[in-house]
Amino acid sequence: MATWLEVALNGPWTRAKQPLMPITVEEVVAEGLACIDAGAAIIHVHAYDPDSGRQDDDWQTYARIIEGIRAKSDAMVYPTIPFPGGLGDPNGMSAVQRFSHAEELAKRGLLECGVVDPGSTQIAGFEEIADGETGFLYANPGDHIQQGLRLAAQYKFHPGYAIYEPGFTRLGAALHKATPGCPVPIYRFMFSDGFAFGFPPQGWALQAHCKLLDHVAPQAPWMIAGLRVDITSLIAPAVRAGGHVRVGLEDAPWQSQISNLDLTRQAIKEIEAAGGTPASPAQVRSVLNRA
C-alpha cells in the first residue's frame, strides 16, 4: 500500500521552542527538498519574517517557497493560515483577511491544498496549566471556515482539516457537504502529549477518530499528526488501517534535537516496517483526484 508522508517543517513556534527549524525562504526550500529526496510527498510550511523571527503570512513569501520547491520537485507544498503569535492577529481579522494569502496563491495556481481548520480549541501546555496559565484560543469562527471552503471550491484546492477535537470531524464533514464543488478534505488527526487538547497518541484514540470519520465521511483520506508529540507508536496501526503519516519539527516535542530530515527517515523506516511504501506525489494526486 502507498502511504503518504508529509513533513511539517517549522510551525509557529519560533526558534526559541524549536531551535533546529528552518525560517528563511532558502532554509525552508533546502530542507523541504532534502525531505522530498528522502521520501516525503507533501511539505507543509509556515512563512517567517527573518528579522523578527515570527510567523509572517505574506503570500509573496509563500510563493517564493512553493516555487523554489516546485523548481526541483513535483511534491505538494502548502502553507498555513495566520496563527496566534504571528505578526498579524488572526483573532482580529475578518474571514476575507485571514484567507487573503491563500486566495492570492490560488489565483496563481500555487495552491493544491490549504489549511481550513473546522473548529476552535484552547491550546494550553500542561506545564502552563500547572503554573496557573491557560494558554490561548486557536479560533476558527464559522464564517472563516466557510470562506476557506468557498475558496477551495472556487479554485479547486483540497482543504486540510486539522482535527484537534473529535467535533472538528463532524463539523468539517457537514460544512464540506454544504459547499458545492468543494474538493475532498484531508483529515489530519492531531494528537498531543504536551498540550491538553484532543487525544494522547494512543491506539484507542486512533480507533475513535477512525470510527467517527467512517461514520460521517467514509473513504475520506486521513493521516496522523499532532503538536508536541511523538507519533511513532501510531505509524504502524495507521498504515495498516489505510491512513497516512505527518512528521516534522512543527509536530515534534519542543527543543527537539532531531532534524526534519532524520524525522523523515525514521518515519520511512516505520512505514516500510508496517508493510507500506512511501507514496510519490503523483500517487497522492491520483487518490485525491478520484475522491
How many whole angstroms separate alpha carbon 70 and alpha carbon 47?
A: 16
Cell numbers standing for residue 101: 494569502
Please tell me whether the overall predicted TM-score, pTM, comes out greater than 0.95 for this model.
yes
Maximum pairwise Cα distance, the chain: 49
CB-CB contact of 276 with 3 (8 Å): yes
Our CA dihedral for 77, 66, 226, 279, rounded to 10 degrees, sits at: 30
Rounded Cα distance between 251 and 226, Å, is: 5
Please identify, in words, the CATH class of the domain defined by 2-290. Answer: alpha beta
Q: Specify the higher pLDDT residue, 193 or 50.
A: 193
Residue for grid cell 475520506? 220
* Listed residue (19, 17, 28) closest to 7, CA to CA: 28
Model confidence over 126-153: pLDDT tens digits?
Answer: 999 999 999 999 999 999 999 999 999 9
Q: What's the mean per-residue pLDDT of the chain?
A: 97
Residue 16 pLDDT > 80, yes or no?
Answer: yes
Closest CA to 183 of 116, 279, 105, 110: 116
- Residue in the block written with cell 475532498: 184
